[in-house]
Structure formats: C-alpha cells, structure tokens
Amino acid sequence: MSSFRRLLGFTMLLSWVVTTLGFVGVAQQVVAQTSSVDAYIATESPAAKAGVLANIGPSGAKCQGAKAGVVIASPSNTNPDYVFTWTRDSSLVFKMLIDQYTLAIDSSASLRTLIDQFVAAEASLQQTSNPSGLISTGGLGEPKFNIDGSAFTGPWGRPQRDGPALRATALITYANWLIKNSNTTFAESTLWPIIKLDLDYVAINWNLTTFDLWEEIDSSSFFTTAVQHRALREGITLANTLGVSSSVTAYPTQADNILCFLQSFWHPSGSMPFMTANTGGGRSGIDANTVLASIHTFDPQAGCDSTTFQPCSDHALANLLAYTQAFRSVYSINANLASTAALATGRYPEDVYMGGNPWYLATFAVAEQLYDALEVWNSQGSLQVTSLSQPFFALFDSSIAPGTFASSTSTFTTLTTAIKAYADSYIALAAKFTPSNGGLAEQYSRDDGSPLSAVDLTWSYASALTVFEARSGTKFASWGAKGLTVSSQCATNAGGNGETIPVTFNVDATTVLGENIYIAGSVNALQDWDADNALLLSSANYPIWSITVNLPANTIVQYKYIRKDGGSVTWESDPNNQFTTNGSGAQTLNDSWR
Ligand SMILES: *[C@@H]1O[C@H](CO)[C@@H](O)[C@H](O)[C@H]1NC(C)=O
Ligand SMILES: *[C@@H]1O[C@H](CO)[C@@H](O)[C@H](O)[C@H]1NC(C)=O
Ligand SMILES: *[C@@H]1O[C@H](CO)[C@@H](O)[C@H](O)[C@H]1NC(C)=O
Ligand SMILES: *[C@@H]1O[C@H](CO)[C@@H](O)[C@H](O)[C@H]1NC(C)=O
C-alpha cells in the first residue's frame, strides 16, 4: 500500500498538536483542533478508503479467496478470526460506498462494478441454506458466511435480524439513484426482488427476539428495531415508485407497529436517562448500539424528532451524555479529563471482549451524531434545549436554560461552536491513537490507546469515512422519518390493534384411507409451525380439504399443509406458501398439495 507510506511522520506531528492542546486557551484550542482534525482527515480519508477496498473480493489486497463483492470483516485470521462475511458489516460498508457513488463523492466505474458485485453476492447469500434455515424458513437471519459464499455451520449467536434490514437500506439507496438516472429496469428487475425478500423477512419476524449487533444477547435490540423500521419505511416508498405497492400491503401496518415498539426502549428514570440497548442481558443498558442506531437512521428532513431518535433530538442527546460519561471511570485513559474533553468510548461499559477496550467506530459515532445534529440546527436556523437535553447542553454553558434559540442569537453561536469543537475532539482522540500507516483496528487500549484486537477492521474504516462526510456537511437522503406519529397502543406483528379476519384454506389433496391433512404456519393461530399441534382440515368436500382460521389482519403469513398417517408426518415440499392477509373482510386461498 504505497499510499500508506507517505503518511509516516504525520501522526507524530499530530499527536504533538493534540497533546499540546491541553495547554492552550479555549479560543486557540478551537482553531488548533480544527486544523489538526482537518489534517488528519486529509490523510486518513484515503487511507480508510483503501482499507475498505483491500477487504472486498475479488481483488482486495487483504482478502484472498473472497468471492466478488464479498466484504471480509478484517484480515485477522486468529484471535480473533474475522475472515468471514457478516451481513451487518457488509451492508453498513456498502451503504457507505453506495452513498459515495450516488452522491458523486466517488463516481468511478470501478466502484460501480464493485457495487454490482455486492448485489450479486448478496443475492446468492440470500439463497444459501444455512443453520438459520432456508430462504423461506428464516435463513435470511443468518449473521455470517464463509468468504467463498458458503454457509458457516459452526455454533454462533443466531439469528441476527438487523442484517436483512441493513442490506435492504443499502440496496434501496442504490435503487433510488438508478431510478433517478433512468435505469428503473435494473432497480425493478434485479434489486427489488432481493430487497423484497429482506423486507418480507423484517415484516414477518421483527417481533421475535434476535441476537444484538454485538452477537451476545438474545432479546429485543434497539439498533435492530430502529434499522428495521427505517428499512420498511423506505421500502414502502420504493414500492410506490415502482408501482408495486399492492405486493407490500403488510408493510405500513408493521412499520407503525415497529415504531410503537421502538419507544419502549426509553429508560427515563435516574439523573441520566438513556435509551436501553437490549431488553435482556442484565447490564446497565448503556451501549453504543443506541448511538449507532441514531446515526444510521439519521434523516436530515426529520428535524429533531424524538420518536425516531434523530441525532439532535432531546432523547438522543440525553442518551449521548449518559453513554459518553459511562466510560469516564471505566478506562484509565479517560482519567482526569475536563468535562468537555472527548472521552474514549467503547461498546458498553461492562464489556470484557478482547480486553473490553474503546472501539474506533464507537468513538467516531459520537462525533457523527453531533455533526448530524449540527447540520439540522444550522439548516433549520434554530436549536431547542428541553429539560431532557439541558444536562447535555450544560456541558458547554453551565447556565443554559430550556428554550429555543434562533441562529441569530449569541447562545446559538456559542453552543454550536462549542459542540463542533467537542465533536472534533472525538476525531482528534481517534487521530491520536491511529498508527502512522493510517490503519484502524477494532479497538484501542483502555490504558494507553495502542491499537488492539482485529487489525484493519472494515467497519472501523467505514465509520471513519461516514464521520468525515458528516463533518463536511454531506447531504444524505431522507428516508421518510418526517412527521411520523406513534399509536397510543403498541400492537404485536399482528395487524393493527389485534384485528383478525377469517381466512379459508382450501387444498386439493388426494389421500389414502387413514391419512388426514393438517395446516401449520408462522403465526400463533397457525400453531407457530408446531406439527404436533397442527390444525386438522375437514374432508367434507373431498378431495378439497378445508378449514377457516381467524388470522391477524394486514400480516404476512407463511404456512404449509401436512399429511399425517398415524405416526408418519409429511410436510409439503419447499418453499413455504406465503400471502398477506387483508385488512378486513374474509379471504379464501385455493391451493393444491405440493
Ligand atoms: C443499469 O444498471 C446496471 C447495473 O449497474 C447496468 O448493468 C446496466 O447497464 C444499466 N443500464 C442502463 C440502461 O444504463
Ligand atoms: C412484540 O411487540 C410487542 C408490542 O410492541 C412488545 O410488547 C413485545 O415486547 C415485542 N416482542 C419482541 C420480541 O419484539
Ligand atoms: C383480499 O384478499 C384476496 C386474496 O385472497 C385478494 O384477491 C383481494 O384483492 C383482497 N382484498 C383487498 C381489499 O385487499
Ligand atoms: C376458491 O374456490 C371456490 C370454489 O371451490 C371458489 O368459489 C372461489 O372463488 C375460489 N377463490 C379463489 C380466490 O380463487
């Protein structure tokens, strides 16, 4: 990597600038830090881009054996072994690359080729049967695969239900750009079928537990729920654009249900309220999960909306305060820092994985949330301090009281200038612990900041690039978060408020004496796939077997018929039958045994 070599020397200079900052006055500090951060970005940006590309097959320099379009998590092959492809990491990385391509930050033909290879690789992974199931039986929730595209069959924390949502968001971003650039054909015939599989998975499964993004806790996870909500919303818009909204009639109801559920993660009690990361796990609940959720569901059109946890919302700012301060006493490199100095931050304060150190991507995420917030305050020309966000703003002005401050006021200028400097200090902190070749590992030491755990983590590089873009005011697309309202009563994945409709299943099935036909499927009323308790159909109109079941309205339902003869049980062949229940009335399905 020759581009890395010319960085030698720079970081030594930079660390001198950063360590010297403590001794200069406040006004100078803002200036000094801004220029040092600018200098870091100027060299780290190409280094991070090269770091990402080195980890993508088929020709990335550090991922031999990776199939075209496959992203390896890191070239580290031992302690930890990350030479696998995770749907989450790959989708976040390609969302960044697709943004770069579609926003003309990098319009190169080679990037377009890579994006198309990613599309093909993910379409093939979707169809790869794996320990989470077949494509029709939950296989989309599989978290990671081998880099040649085959299934990873070892034990793992599965399923992880954020992957399909993040992949859909990356591909929807690409589809929207293609449509704007007169290539609706590719969006419709190649991307939409892949996107729809992922979104159907979200619509059917969002209300089931999942392993969280750190692959440790099996419960409900805020990050997962937030990105699922975003993906469904933008999927609905894309379906409308493509004129296929009749195939996604279940999505609007499920998006409303997910948004309602999202609110339940708020943890209001105590002096520092926060968004709890998981419903299980027995920890404080303070976690980078929530900051990542905020930046990855940022919608510049949504203002400072709290219901979608926008970066400048009072909930997200209160949460950011609780999150950052939680690491003050945990890492020794944070000892004795001033209240407005950047704190090294990691996944969660109780973390012990690979020593439980700060993570580059978590530290960058703090800055990214603040740059996103600054962009909205500047574009709307005002900033609001509420009683909830007041402790956050008090870091920068101890006498600040709740109120709305127009951009013409000195309070607005003081606060936004200080918050920009505070955000920059997180970049400067990461810069201080970036080695001279620009390499970004997974973690940096809680004691001295030296890089630790997996080297060249693709997600670390992607997080550097997205925070740099946020800082430079890149205009990211809206996904439809503006003006959403939350219903007062949260429904499960059943249709709105538990409404049900009668659905009649008719199946043409020839049987021999002693055989009977049953049905089981993906919802409670169809026994949640339990063959032992499958529902018996009536043979009154033999060879048509029938049953009428009350099913939740506006819901994607999967089912199969089962043939039982004494102890022998035969399921219909794959794939599962699937349909969406209507919002009201009765529905009839006429099937033939497969
Ligand atoms: C549409 O995009 C696909 C994917 O990049 C490309 O292969 C195809 O040539 C494009 N078609 C047109 C008409 O530009
Ligand atoms: C399912 O949704 C209901 C209603 O929002 C919620 O109370 C429950 O915790 C959810 N369960 C899971 C596992 O998501
Ligand atoms: C109800 O479901 C049937 C399929 O069983 C479909 O043909 C019909 O269009 C649906 N009605 C509405 C109002 O969606
Ligand atoms: C199903 O079959 C019945 C007759 O067996 C017929 O009356 C009905 O219209 C059919 N419904 C659909 C949706 O094909």
Average confidence (pLDDT) over 189-198? 98
Share of the chain above pLDDT 70, in %: 93
Question: Is residue 21 in some structural domain?
Answer: no
Domain boundary among 220, 251, 267: 267
- Does residue 209 line the site of ligand 2, with CB under 6 A? yes
Q: Are residues 374 and 420 in contact, defined by beta-carbon separation less than 8 angstroms?
A: yes
Ligand 3 and 506: CB distance under 6 A: no
Residues 452 and 528 in one domain: no
Reduce the DSSP state of residue 338 to 3 states and report it: coil
Find the mean pLDDT for residues 141-163. 97
pLDDT of residue 3: 33
pLDDT of residue 585: 87
Q: What is the DSSP letter of 527?
A: G
Please check whether residue 60 lies inside any domain of the structure.
yes
Return the structure tokens found at 19: 């360590």
Domain containing 405 equals 269-458+471-486
Q: Out of 222, 487, 492, give the residue to mutate to test ligand 2, the one with the largest number of ligand atoms within 8 Å of its CB.
A: 492
CB 493 within 8 A of CB 573: no
Question: Is 156 a known ligand-binding residue?
Answer: yes
| 442, 373: one domain | yes
- The answer to whether 562 and 535 have CB atoms below 8 angstroms apart is no
* Ligand 1 contact, 120 CB (< 6 A): no
Same domain, residue pair 294 and 414: yes
φ/ψ of 552, rounded to 5, equals -60, 140
- Nearest CA residue ID for atom 13, ligand 3: 582
Which ligand lies nearest the alpha carbon of 188? 1
For ligand 1, the distance from its centroid to the CA atom of residue 250, given in whole angstroms, is: 30
Which ligand gives the minimal distance to the CA of 250? 3
**In total, how many domains does the chain have?**
3
Q: Is 183 in the pocket of ligand 1 (CB under 6 A)?
A: yes
Tell me: do 214 and 254 sit in the same domain: yes
Task: Give yes or no: residues 204 and 287 share one domain.
Answer: no
206 Cα nearest atom in ligand 2: 14
Give pLDDT, residue 12: 35
Q: Is the CB of 498 under 6 A from ligand 2?
A: no
What pLDDT was estimated at residue 17?
Answer: 36
- 142 tagged catalytic: no
Show the tokens assigned to 292: 């990542």
Q: Which ligand lies nearest the alpha carbon of 557?
A: 3
pLDDT digits over 326-372, tens only? 999 999 999 999 999 999 999 999 999 999 999 999 999 999 999 99
> Quick one: 510 and 475 in the same domain?
no
- pLDDT tens column, 61-93: 999 999 999 999 999 999 999 999 999 999 999
With 80 as the cut, is the pLDDT of residue 492 above it? no
Q: Same structural domain for residues 213 and 295?
A: no
Read off the pLDDT of each residue in 83-107 and give the average, rounded to a whole number: 98
- Nearest-ligand number for the alpha carbon of 261: 2
Closest ligand 2 atom to 260 CA: 5
What would the two tokens of residue 121 be? 């690789």
* Opening angle at CA 174, ends 171 and 177, nearest 5: 150
Q: Give catalytic status of residue 215 as yes or no.
A: yes
Question: With 80 as the cut, is the pLDDT of residue 491 above it?
Answer: no
Residue 66's CATH number: 1.50.10.10
pLDDT value of position 498? 64
- Whole-number Å distance, alpha carbon 170 to ligand 1 midpoint, is 17
- 556 CA distance to ligand 3 centroid (A)? 13
Confidence (pLDDT) at 1: 29
**Whether residue 417 has its Cβ less than 6 Å from ligand 3:** no
Q: Which of 27-36, 313-322, 522-531 has the highest mean pLDDT?
A: 313-322
pLDDT reading at 582 higher than 90? no
Within this chain, do residues 230 and 320 fall inside the same structural domain, yes or no?
no
255-284 mean pLDDT: 93
Task: Please say if the pLDDT value at position 320 is more than 90.
Answer: yes
Q: Which of 180, 183, 188, 194 is the best mutation target for the ligand 1 pocket, counting ligand atoms within 8 Å of the beta carbon and taking the most? A: 183
The answer to whether position 561 is within a domain reads yes
pLDDT given at position 496: 47
Q: Is 582 in the pocket of ligand 3 (CB under 6 A)?
A: yes
Q: Give the residue, out of 503, 506, 544, 577, with the most ligand 4 atoms within 8 A of its beta carbon, to mutate for a pocket test.
A: 506
* 182 and 66 belong to one structural domain: yes
With a 6 Å cutoff on the Cβ, whether 222 touches ligand 2 is no
Q: Which two tokens stand for residue 222?
A: 């805020």
Q: Which residue has the least CA distance to atom 14 on ligand 4?
A: 590
Asked whether residue 226 is domain-assigned, the answer is yes
* Integer Cα distance of 470 and 34 in angstroms: 15
pLDDT at 2: 32
pLDDT category of residue 32 using cuts at 50, 70 and 90? low
The two counts, helices (H) then strands (E), for the chain are 16, 19
User: Which pLDDT score, from 0 to 100, does residue 270 have?
Assistant: 80
Question: Minimum-distance ligand to the CA of 543?
Answer: 4
Residue 5 lies in a domain: no
Catalytic residue (one of 106, 215, 218, 499): 215
- DSSP collapsed to 3 states, 62-129: CCCCCCCCCECCCCCECCCECCCEEHHHHHHHHHHHHHHHHCCCCCCHHHHHHHHHHHHHHHHHHCCC
Q: Is 587 in the pocket of ligand 3 (CB under 6 A)?
A: yes
| Residue minimizing CA distance to atom 7 of ligand 3 | 587
The reported pLDDT for the residue numbered 360 is 98
Predicted confidence at residue 8, as pLDDT, reads 31
**Residue 23: pLDDT over 80:** no
Cα(230)–Cα(235) distance, rounded to whole angstroms? 8
Domain harbouring 535, CATH code: 2.60.40.10
Task: Give the mean pLDDT of 315-320.
Answer: 98
Report how far ligand 1's centroid is from the alpha carbon of 188 (Å). 12
What distance in angstroms lies between residue 587's CA and the mean position of ligand 4's atoms? 10
DSSP 424: H
In a domain, 419, yes or no: yes
Task: Report the nearest-CA residue for atom 5 of ligand 3.
Answer: 587
Which of 267, 288, 316 represents a domain boundary (last residue)?
267
Same domain, 147 and 207: yes
Mean pLDDT over residues 22-50, rounded? 74
Q: Write out pLDDT tens, residues 426-458.
A: 999 999 999 999 999 999 999 999 999 999 999
Please work out whether the CB of residue 220 comes within 6 Å of at least one atom of ligand 2.
yes
Q: Tell whether the model's pLDDT for residue 487 goes beyond 90.
A: no
Query: How far is 147 from 370, CA to CA, in rounded Å?
Result: 35
Most confident segment among 467-471, 528-532, 583-587: 467-471
Report the predicted TM-score, pTM, of the whole model to 2 decimal places: 0.85
Q: Which of 89, 162, 188, 212 is catalytic?
A: 212
- 23 part of a folded domain: no
pLDDT of 271 > 90? The answer is: no
Q: Whose CA is nearest to atom 6 of ligand 1?
A: 186
Q: What is the per-residue pLDDT across 369-402, written as a single tens digit (0 to 9) for each? A: 999 999 999 999 999 999 999 999 999 999 999 9
Q: Output the pLDDT for position 418.
A: 97
Q: Is residue 157 part of a domain?
A: yes
DSSP 576: -
CA 98 to centroid of ligand 1, rounded, Å: 15
Instruction: Specify whether 217 is located in the same domain as 257.
Output: yes
Ligand 4 close to Cβ of residue 590 (< 6 A): yes
What average pLDDT score do residues 490-500 get? 68
What integer is the mean pLDDT of 183-203? 97
Q: How far is the CA of 545 from the centre of ligand 4 (A)?
A: 13
207 Cβ closer than 6 Å to some ligand 2 atom: yes
Domain co-membership, 205 together with 329: no
59 lines ligand 4 (CB under 6 A): no
pLDDT in tens, 197-238: 999 999 989 988 999 999 999 999 999 999 999 999 999 999
Final residue of a domain: which of 267, 286, 313? 267
The overall average pLDDT reported for the chain is 92
Ligand 3: centre distance to CA 246 (Å): 10
| Confidence band, pLDDT 50/70/90 cuts, at residue 574 | confident
How far, in Å, is the centroid of ligand 2 from the Cα of 260? Answer: 9
Which ligand 1 atom sits nearest the alpha carbon of residue 183? 1
Query: pLDDT value at position 26?
Result: 41
Question: How high is the pLDDT of residue 137?
Answer: 81
